[in-house]
Amino acid sequence: MNQTLPSTPASRLARLAASRVPIPGRRCRPPLSTRGTRQSGGELTLDATALVGGARRRPGSAAAWRRFLAALSDVEAALKAHSANREIVFRLGLHLSAALALGRIFHQAAGWRLAVEGCHGVARLDAAVDAEDLRVVWDQGSSGADEATLEIELLPHPVRAMATDLVSTLAHPLRGRLQFWRESRDDLKPEHLAALSKAIALETQRTCGDKGVRLLHVLCAAPVELAVLLGHQLTGMEIDLQLYERDADGYAPSLIVPAATP
C-alpha cells in the first residue's frame, strides 16, 4: 500500500495489493510502518510513512490519519476475501495510534489471530501469563458525562500527569479517568505484554459499560506490541476511540476510530 500515490484511491490500491499476496494455507507476515522512512518491500508492505512518518517525530494530521484508517480497513477486507487464513504476524514501526487502530481493524471478533514481532520476541494472546504487577484506578468525574480517558503508563513517560493537562482543555466534562500503570520497570517480555493487554481490555470494557461511556480518549505509553493486542480485544463496545500522539510536551489528537468500525 503506497500512500505516496494520491491519484490512486486507497480502497483500489489496497485491494490490488492484497489480491496479489500468496497466503493461502500459511501465515502472512506484512511489514507495516508509519514512523521513520519508507520500508523495504515484502509480500505485502503497508507503508504510511509519507503521510505521518519522516525523519522527525510528528503526530500527523487528522486527514492523514483518516486516510490511513480507510486504507487499513480496505486491506483487512481484501485479505479476508482473499483467503480463509486468519493468522497474521506483523512486523511494525508504528505510532501507537496506528498500532491501536491496526488491532481494532483486525479484531478478534472477526476471527483474526494476530501476533506482533518485537525486540524480545513475538507477542501473541495465547502465550499470555499473569499480569500481577498491573495497577488500576478509576478516578470518578461528572455523573452525567459520557466521555472518559484511558491512560496507560507502562513505560517511563508521565502519561497521567500529561493527561491532567489535556483534560483541562477538553470541551466536555469527563465521566472519569481509567488509569493503568506498573510498579516495576523491568523489561516487558512478549508473554507479559499479552497478559497486560488482556487485563487492560477486560477492565476497560467492564468499566466503560458500567459507566455508560460513549467516547474514550486513549493516551498510551507502552510497547507497540501491547497497543496492537489491546486494540485487537476492544470489541463489543459502542464507544468511539479518540487516539492521541505525543507532540512536544503534550498530547495532540490523531485519529478517531468510530464505534461502527467493522
200 exposure class (CB count in 10 Å sphere: 0-12, 13-18, 19+): buried
Question: Do 160 and 215 sit in the same domain of this protein?
Answer: yes
Digit-coded pLDDT (tens) for 139-155: 999 999 999 999 999 99
Question: Do 64 and 136 sit in the same domain of this protein?
Answer: no
Question: Do 222 and 157 sit in the same domain of this protein?
Answer: yes
Judge whether 5 lies within some domain: no
Question: 15 versus 158: which is more confidently predicted?
Answer: 158
Judge whether 247 lies within some domain: yes
Question: Do 98 and 134 sit in the same domain of this protein?
Answer: no
Which domain-ending residue is among 96, 122, 148? 122
- Per-residue pLDDT, averaged over 186-205, amounts to 94
Question: Do 164 and 181 sit in the same domain of this protein?
Answer: yes
> Helices 224-233 & 96-105, crossing angle to 10 degrees?
30
Judge whether 164 lies within some domain: yes
Q: How many CB atoms lie within 10 A of CB 171?
A: 5
Domain that holds residue 56: 10-122
- Per-residue pLDDT, averaged over 3-9, amounts to 42
Judge whether 215 lies within some domain: yes
- pLDDT band (50, 70, 90) for residue 2: very low
Q: Please state, in angstroms and rounded to a whole number, the distance separating the CA atoms of residues 38 and 43.
A: 15
Question: Do 189 and 237 sit in the same domain of this protein?
Answer: yes
Query: What pLDDT, on a 0 to 100 scale, did the predictor assign at position 16?
Result: 54
Question: Do 139 and 168 sit in the same domain of this protein?
Answer: yes
Which domain-ending residue is among 76, 91, 122? 122
Question: Do 199 and 105 sit in the same domain of this protein?
Answer: no
Q: Please state, in angstroms and rounded to a whole number, the distance separating the CA atoms of residues 63 and 191.
A: 35
Give the sheet arrangement for strand 250-257, strand by strand.
134-140, 176-182, 147-153, 215-221, 240-247, 250-257
Which domain-ending residue is among 67, 96, 122? 122
Sequence-ordered strand ranges (E) for the chain: 31-33, 46-47, 87-93, 113-118, 121-124, 134-140, 147-153, 176-182, 215-221, 240-247, 250-257
Query: What pLDDT, on a 0 to 100 scale, did the predictor assign at position 164?
Result: 96
Let me know how many helices (H) and strands (E) the chain has, helices first.
7, 11
Digit-coded pLDDT (tens) for 40-67: 555 567 777 777 766 666 677 889 899 8
Question: Do 135 and 237 sit in the same domain of this protein?
Answer: yes
Judge whether 2 lies within some domain: no
Query: Sign of dihedral through CA atoms 148, 154, 155, 161?
Result: positive
Judge whether 67 lies within some domain: yes
Query: What pLDDT, on a 0 to 100 scale, did the predictor assign at position 23?
Result: 47
Query: What pLDDT, on a 0 to 100 scale, did the predictor assign at position 41?
Result: 54
Q: And the C-alpha cell for 32?
A: 507495516
25 exposure class (CB count in 10 Å sphere: 0-12, 13-18, 19+): exposed
Judge whether 40 lies within some domain: yes
Question: Do 135 and 240 sit in the same domain of this protein?
Answer: yes
Question: Do 189 and 241 sit in the same domain of this protein?
Answer: yes
Residue 211 has pLDDT above 90, yes or no: yes
Domain count, the chain: 2
Phi, psi of 205 (to 5 degrees): -60, -45
Q: Is 245 within 8 Å of 251 (Cβ atoms)?
A: yes
Lowest mean pLDDT among 70-74, 78-82, 215-219, 250-254: 78-82
Digit-coded pLDDT (tens) for 118-144: 888 999 998 877 888 899 999 999 999
Q: Is 30 within 8 Å of 87 (Cβ atoms)?
A: no
Question: Do 25 and 138 sit in the same domain of this protein?
Answer: no
Q: What is the mean pLDDT of the chain?
A: 84
- CATH number for the domain that contains residue 203: 3.40.50
Judge whether 219 lies within some domain: yes
